[in-house]
Structure 1
Amino acid sequence: MHATPLTFIATMPASTERFVNIAAYKFITFEDLEAIRPCYQETCLALGLKGTILLTPEGINLFLSGTRAHIDSFLLWVRSDARFADLEVKESYSDEQSHKRMLVKIKKEIITMRMPLIQPELGRAPAVKAATLKRWLDQGHDDDGKPVVMVDTRNAFEVDVGTFDNTIDYRIEKFTEFPEVIAANRAALADKTVVTFCTGGIRCEKAAIHMQNIGYDSVYQLEGGILKYFEEVGGAHYTGDCFVFDYRTALTPQLQPSVTVQCFACRAVVTPRQQLDPRYVYEVSCPQCAQ
């Protein structure tokens, strides 16, 4: 357990240096959250990092942006805790820091599902790596010859920015709706290999465990989510971009910021074409909320 924050004096990056953006999570029993929170906050501030860290009884979830040296220093500090020695991160790059401030929050869950019996720390559902999934989608079936079905566990507005081809999208508005809708459609997915996915792996990890619990016998989670898929195999079998919860709004399959923006008023994603609409007024309205 981290008893003290990292002692470090942050320095300003060179004007030509790009920022590293990382996303990571781990399901693990976390205690003494109130005592641990200041250590994370002080370490991130000392390193000049910006972003959000969620500390919960079931684990940690973080999105941070900073220079290469400062991100590496933070990861060295985090991994000095034996529980996070194997913490894996997904990286992308940007010319500006992808967040505007630094927050360390305490929450009840990493991602709200309200299914307390689901504890990924005690055992995960099977995971499929990006390269294997691409091969399955290339050939149209898994290694046993079963048809592969992609199930998007994200909210509808995220799916609208981009998703895998021929994916099943249940148009959920929040993740707490997923258990009911996936249970109602179990018969339609029988005799198929189901691959759940999300942005970075958190939602699909919980989703796959729940699906196993209610009787799905061939379900996988996409290891590392869409961002890891982009990192390892690019945009094969994927159309559009991937919504992210920072100022970049969405990332292309090349992990570069897309040209979409997010409406200041209703938080909807506004495409380049929609930005030409007279109802789109910067920080005021967009075609979706102006109707």
Structure 2
Amino acid sequence: MASDDGLFFLDDFETSTGDESKQEKLQLSTSLRKVYTCCRRRAFSSYVASKRKGSGDGDSISQPIWHCCDQTFGEPSSVHKHVARTHEAEVQQLTESTFHGVLRQQEDKACGGQLPGGHHTEEPVDTSSWLPDTSHLTEEELQTGPGKVLLYYHYFRLDDPHTVCAWQKALCEKLHLTGKVRVATEGVNGTVGGTTLATDLYVKTMRSHTLFNTMEEEDFKSSDGGAECFSGLKVGVYEEIVPMGVDPDVISYQLAGTHLNPEEFHQEVESLLSEGESSQDTVLLDCRNFYESKIGQFSQCLAPNIRKFSYFPDYVDQNLDLFRDKKVLMYCTGGIRCERASAYLLSKEVCKEVYQLKGGIHKYLERFPDGFYRGKLFVFDERYTVPSDADAISECRYCSVPWDQYQLCTTRFCRQLVLSCPACRGAVQTACCVPCQAKGPQQGEESSATGPAQLKEECECTDQRLRIPQDAP
């Protein structure tokens, strides 16, 4: 399934070699391609920052300006365009330097040296005292009975993410929870499933820890489900707890927009809808991916047709006029993407105001199940969706009847999500595109000599998609 932290294959990119006239494709793993993209964004941001000066009146904060190539730029968008057009070679050199540094750091880690995040350790930290006492419970009690899926995040400065990662892995295993937990120096983001008893104990244990005791119970969004909603447990340390592809030290969650609770957000949307098409000064922005907004969204929203959240910064950069002098109301599934997305949008200094829905669609639907959100809510587990109302706002890709339940493309190793109604699935119309349909379910299997085939999340149909759409203001 396509997800914000799943297996993605970025577009091929080129890098200069010793011979500047020669370009060669880097054949990298998915994880290294993500690292390279992050390094390039960091290099670009650093280069632009090096050109920043104080304002003409000495105010270095409220009115920044940039000097480059004997030119003065008063807006971030203008200096960004200049650097992109004129200083590609310098940015590329910085990118490669940063990227090779990261590779050296990974080599050091493999040899027992410094770990990402600057933490040196010779032996694992004992986290057993952080685990709950379950001696009064049987394994059967922890594993059987009604279940839940939890969704949560917590931004804060975390100096030792590897120790927290080890603790989270041990905690989830002890409680027989499955799911995904991302740990970084900027905080933790997780979605886990298990029995109600186990998930309640997980929340209690989290909130009793000194690092998480500022979290409230309502910070853990829950829905019906269980351990069966995930194929296993994945806990790891990452640079970002939500993969936007921008250095958290450059665009921090601390610079996020103003939070609106569900009641306040509902009032804002109600006011916007009452104005109808006459509204010119407010944008209701969906920060999710196209396959999420396709099956459920707020009425009259702007839903960018992007495949993943790491494309969002480029979408903003190429569509700044959509947000210029506007009030922006932003939302996502649980609120986490808005924290970084609103900070990025605010960094462009084009909006009048930026607001975000606290707790995301999850919390809005708890308060307003019959509100202004139409369709289903996409979730990143094997349920794919949780219901919000009876309306189906999307269609079967084959016969166009209303349908909003995703299933995987049946071509072997293709991981695209497909909207195919029961009648069409009965007619074996189950692929994401015509080429996949023609391949059949066995196509793409690799020989055992080369090892198991890697699950791909793009094929001919994704190659033809416009990576960053241009939306008219």
What runs of 5+ residues in structure 2 fail to find an aligned partner?
1-124, 391-402, 439-473
Using the TM superposition, give the Cα deviation of residue 30 of structure 1 relative to its aligned residue in structure 2, in angstroms: 1.9
Give the alignment's Cα RMSD to 1 decimal: 3.0
Q: Does 1:218 align with 2:346?
A: no
Contact 1:274 1:287 (C-alpha < 8 Å) held by counterparts? no
SS of the residue corresponding to residue 228 of structure 2 reads coil
Deviates most, 241-250 or 109-118: 109-118
Structure 2 equivalent of residue 268 of structure 1: 417
Counterpart pick for 2:203 among 59, 63, 75 = 75
Structure 2 equivalent of residue 156 of structure 1: 290
Residue identity matched to 1:45: E
Structure 2 equivalent of residue 290 of structure 1: 437
Residues 43-67 of structure 1, C-alpha deviation per residue, up to 9 Å, x if partnerless? Answer: 1111111111111121100101122
SS of the residue corresponding to residue 137 of structure 1 reads helix
Counterpart pick for 1:187 among 321, 325, 329 = 321
Structure 2 equivalent of residue 229 of structure 1: 364
More strand by proportion, 1 or 2?
1
Using the TM superposition, give the Cα deviation of residue 226 of structure 1 relative to its aligned residue in structure 2, in angstroms: 1.3
Contact 1:161 1:269 (C-alpha < 8 Å) held by counterparts? no
Using the TM superposition, give the Cα deviation of residue 168 of structure 1 relative to its aligned residue in structure 2, in angstroms: 0.7
Output the TM-score relative to the length of structure 1: 0.85
Q: Does 1:252 align with 2:387?
A: yes
- Indicate how the Cα distance of structure 1 residues 48 and 14 shifts in structure 2: closer, same or farther if over 3 A, else same: closer
Structure 1 equivalent of residue 51 of structure 2: none
- Indicate how the Cα distance of structure 1 residues 85 and 280 shifts in structure 2: closer, same or farther if over 3 A, else same: farther
More helix by proportion, 1 or 2?
2
Q: Does 1:6 align with 2:137?
A: no
Contact 1:279 1:287 (C-alpha < 8 Å) held by counterparts? no
Residue identity matched to 1:153: C
Structure 2 equivalent of residue 128 of structure 1: 260
Contact 2:182 2:189 (C-alpha < 8 Å) held by counterparts? yes
Contact 1:51 1:101 (C-alpha < 8 Å) held by counterparts? yes
Residue identity matched to 1:101: G
Structure 2 equivalent of residue 101 of structure 1: 232
Residue identity matched to 1:272: C
Q: Which has the higher contact order (CA 8 A, sep 6+)?
A: 1
Counterpart pick for 2:252 among 99, 109, 119 = 119
What runs of 5+ residues in structure 1 fail to find an aligned partner?
none
Distance in 2 separating the partners of 1:160 and 1:136:
22
Residue identity matched to 2:387: T
Residue identity matched to 2:303: D
Distance in 2 separating the partners of 1:183 and 1:229:
29
Contact 2:147 2:224 (C-alpha < 8 Å) held by counterparts? yes
Residues 39-97 of structure 1, C-alpha deviation per residue, up to 9 Å, x if partnerless? Answer: 21121111111111111121100101122221121112111222311321111113763
Using the TM superposition, give the Cα deviation of residue 124 of structure 1 relative to its aligned residue in structure 2, in angstroms: 3.1
- Indicate how the Cα distance of structure 1 residues 98 and 280 shifts in structure 2: closer, same or farther if over 3 A, else same: same
SS of the residue corresponding to residue 211 of structure 2 reads helix
Distance in 1 separating the partners of 2:182 and 2:269:
34
Structure 2 equivalent of residue 65 of structure 1: 193
Contact 2:168 2:235 (C-alpha < 8 Å) held by counterparts? yes
Contact 2:416 2:432 (C-alpha < 8 Å) held by counterparts? no
Counterpart pick for 1:46 among 174, 187, 199 = 174
Distance in 2 separating the partners of 1:259 and 1:188:
29
Percent identity, aligned pairs only, is 24
- Indicate how the Cα distance of structure 1 residues 57 and 269 shifts in structure 2: closer, same or farther if over 3 A, else same: farther
Residues 262-285 of structure 1, C-alpha deviation per residue, up to 9 Å, x if partnerless? Answer: 21533314253675363445xxx4
Contact 2:273 2:300 (C-alpha < 8 Å) held by counterparts? no
Counterpart pick for 1:202 among 332, 336, 347 = 336
Contact 1:29 1:58 (C-alpha < 8 Å) held by counterparts? yes
Q: Does 1:170 align with 2:294?
A: no
Residues 92-130 of structure 1, C-alpha deviation per residue, up to 9 Å, x if partnerless? Answer: 11376322322211111111223221111x343201111
Distance in 2 separating the partners of 1:228 and 1:247:
21
Residue identity matched to 1:213: S
User: Which has more radius of gyration?
Assistant: 2
Residues 191-211 of structure 1, C-alpha deviation per residue, up to 9 Å, x if partnerless? Answer: 432111111111111111111
- Indicate how the Cα distance of structure 1 residues 156 and 141 shifts in structure 2: closer, same or farther if over 3 A, else same: closer
